[in-house]
Copies of this chain bind each other. A is one copy, B any other.
Amino acid sequence: MIQELKISYGHLFEDALINDILHVGTFKEVPAGYKLMEIGDYVRGMPLLVSGAIKVLREDKEGDELLLYYLEQGDTCSMTMTCCMGQTKSEIRAIAETDTKLIMIPIRKMEEWTAKYKSWRNFVFESYHHRLNELLQTLDSIAFDRMDERLINYLREKARINKEDIIHNTHQEIAYELHSSRVVISRLLKKLEQINKIELYRNHIKILDLS
């Protein structure tokens, strides 16, 4: 775990903090699709992402989902942080998008390190900053963009996160994450294919050029 931690966080944290993390952190490796957090769960630890990606989802009254954003290497879950403090329940669902490695920090350390380490304070604030902005962008997209634009952004982001030009999802799955319906997504995807931005296959989509 030590090399992984140093690679992802070595430039951020002072040595003493790295040491503390090694002492109290738990290394965890989860496969794609693994559910890390469910809505309503109490938060037991704070994750530091070492590799892979986690998707964060919100749910409506009917139980349908909406993708909020992805967490990547170097990220942590700000929702988790806030939840720790107040002992409140999770407002979101978190699912590994790819195989993911992470280090779990016991929440009681949060407080301690925030007082003790300047680099930790910076990290925590940076995380919040990053997360708020990410959430604002998601909100922009939902409030201001039409579904075709949202779909293009979704495909582009998904390709980036998975480091691959092929999206391994059904139209139904995409519709679900965009909080839309399968027929609408199929329709829009077909249009994107007609203008040579993508190619459609059963169970996957090849991205040609989404610029």
Residues of chain A whose beta carbon lies under 8 Å from any beta carbon of chain B: 58, 60-61, 66, 68, 78-79, 81-83, 85-86, 88, 91-92, 111, 114-115, 118, 121-122, 125-126, 128-129, 131-133, 135-136, 138-140, 142-144, 179
A115 (CB) vs chain B CBs: closest residue: B115
Known: A58-B136, A58-B143. 8 other contacts (CB 8 A): A85-B125, A88-B129, A91-B136, A111-B118, A114-B114, A131-B132, A132-B132, A139-B139
CB–CB A128/B126 < 8 A: no
Q: Residues of B contacting A126 with CB < 8 Å? A: 85-86
CA distance A129 to B84 in the complex (A): 10
Closest 4 CB pairs of A and B: A82-B129, A60-B144, A85-B125, A142-B143
Question: Which chain B positions have C-beta within 8 A of A144?
Answer: 60-61, 66, 179
B58, A140: Cβ atoms closer than 8 Å: yes
User: Shortest Cβ distance from A173 into chain B, in angstroms?
Assistant: 18
Task: Knowing A135-B139, A142-B139, A143-B60 are in contact, say whether A82-B114 is a contact too (CB < 8 A).
Answer: no
Determine the distance from Cα of A138 to Cα of B140 in the docked complex, in whole angstroms. 11
Given contacts A82-B129, A85-B129, A129-B85, contact A139 B138 (CB under 8 A): yes
- Asked if B85 contacts A143 (CB within 8 A), the reply is no
Which residue on chain B has the smallest CB distance to residue A85?
B125
Question: Please, which residues of chain B bring their CB within 8 A of the CB of A128?
Answer: 78, 81-82, 128
Given A79-B132, A85-B129, A132-B82, check contact A58 B122 (CB 8 Å).
Answer: no
